[in-house]
Copies of this chain bind each other. A is one copy, B any other.
Amino acid sequence: MVYRELLQEGEKIILVVVDGLGGLPVLGSFTELELANLPNLNSLAKRFPVGALESVGAGITPGSGPAHLSLFGYDPLKYRIGRGILEALGLDMEIREGYVAIRCNFATLKDGVIVDRRAGRISTEENRRIVEKLKKINKVEDVEVIWESGKEHRFVMVLRGEGLSEEILETDPGREGERPLDPEPLEASAEKTSRILKKILEISREILKDEERGNFFLMRGYAKLPKIEKFEEKWGLRAFGTASYPMYRGLAKLVGMYVPKDTPDFEAELAELEKNFDNYDFFYIHYKDADKAGEDGDWRKKVLALERFDSYIPRILKLGGIVAITGDHNTPSLLRSHSWHYVPLLITSLKAGVPTAWSFTEREAIKGSLGIRKSYELIPLLLASANRLKRFGA
């Protein structure tokens, strides 16, 4: 796009992502944002412009990966991040270009046939114990093999090396009573990867043979990093990102942001933001609790999560710079899940537009002067408001 030609230095920008921000009416009439007591957000909404964002497209409920990419200014339909990568990021594994990440499930075989595709949903502790045994396989040919336990029967394997491919047949036949498939290459360039995976399976079978449940595992969601332009190159912003959950930290790292360690909660994230404020131009900070409450279908808990978030606002504003407050997607308690609806947006600058709202709610947001835009248009709006975009044409 034309933006790169127009970049110049300007003010600092803070992007506050309230995960699962917006909702739908509960009690038949009001949303969580309308029910919550949000003195700071509502005061900002009266004084500054609001609007609404859509991550992907009409009716499309985004996962955290596409939703965040969109907020970072990447069209999520152009940059698709494979499931293996997202799982690996969620376990805080390091992923670089060329690596292949694979979602694995422990399974139970009997006479070579799958009798349980999830190994009886073994406990996370059991999982850790068995994965520890698999870690003996740390290199095959010139390729390093990294293992990381997930929850219950799930774990992730990452291959690091040259000439790897994600074009491999998934080994899960999708139902019990069948034999696992072999990780055959789906294109000629995948032969090396296929050979290595077969070798890994062969050794694993031997290592796991005495396990009652989880004496084998199935592989799917093979994924490499998509080729993605770094955030700093794309938008001319030295970027900092902080989140308490590994997946969001991983997404920030994926686009090249600096991400500090040891941020177990929002309080810690905020402390890191404050500490690093002089050294970057752009700051992404992630608030998780609204989403969790929405996923639980607990609107009271979501109201409380939003109220807790509201209490942090003065501390964020104190830093200076232009602050955008929005969500990666809505998580209405009514749906107990992410949703496709327009996400409320607020930008704390009168340069961004005229104020139009009386409160920070879904109903006010969609009528706001920032309009209804794709999430990946937010960064340009923020750049403009921070005086970071030159005029286009004379």
Contact of A25 with B80 at beta-carbon distance under 8 Å, contacts A59-B389, A392-B62, A394-B65 already known: no
Are B380 and A369 neighbours in the complex by a CB distance under 8 Å?
Answer: no
Alpha-carbon distance between A384 and B341 when the two chains are bound, in angstroms: 10
Are B350 and A334 neighbours in the complex by a CB distance under 8 Å?
Answer: yes
Are B371 and A62 neighbours in the complex by a CB distance under 8 Å?
Answer: no
Does A356 sit within 8 A of B, measured CB to CB? yes
Alpha-carbon distance between A77 and B340 when the two chains are bound, in angstroms: 26
Nearest chain B CB to A87's CB is how many angstroms away?
8
Nearest opposing residue in chain B for A55, CB measure: B392
Using a CB-CB cutoff of 8 Å, which residues 228-257 of chain A contact chain B?
A: none
Alpha-carbon distance between A394 and B251 when the two chains are bound, in angstroms: 12
Contact of A392 with B25 at beta-carbon distance under 8 Å, contacts A58-B377, A351-B335 already known: no
Are A58 and B394 neighbours in the complex by a CB distance under 8 Å?
Answer: no
Alpha-carbon distance between A2 and B60 when the two chains are bound, in angstroms: 9
Are A393 and B363 neighbours in the complex by a CB distance under 8 Å?
Answer: no
Contact of A25 with B355 at beta-carbon distance under 8 Å, contacts A64-B394, A369-B342, A394-B64 already known: yes
Are B61 and A389 neighbours in the complex by a CB distance under 8 Å?
Answer: yes
Does A83 sit within 8 A of B, measured CB to CB? yes
Nearest chain B CB to A11's CB is how many angstroms away?
13
Alpha-carbon distance between A353 and B340 when the two chains are bound, in angstroms: 10
Contact of A394 with B63 at beta-carbon distance under 8 Å, contacts A362-B369, A372-B371 already known: yes
Alpha-carbon distance between A381 and B367 when the two chains are bound, in angstroms: 19
Residues of B within 8 A of A363 (CB): 354, 356, 369
Alpha-carbon distance between A371 and B341 when the two chains are bound, in angstroms: 10
Residues of B within 8 A of A372 (CB): 371-372
Alpha-carbon distance between A356 and B368 when the two chains are bound, in angstroms: 14
Nearest chain B CB to A251's CB is how many angstroms away?
11
Told that A56-B392, A58-B381 touch, could you supply 18 new A-B pairs with CB distance under 8 A?
A25-B355, A31-B354, A52-B371, A57-B380, A58-B373, A59-B385, A60-B384, A62-B391, A62-B393, A63-B393, A65-B393, A65-B394, A66-B392, A67-B393, A80-B393, A86-B394, A356-B366, A367-B367
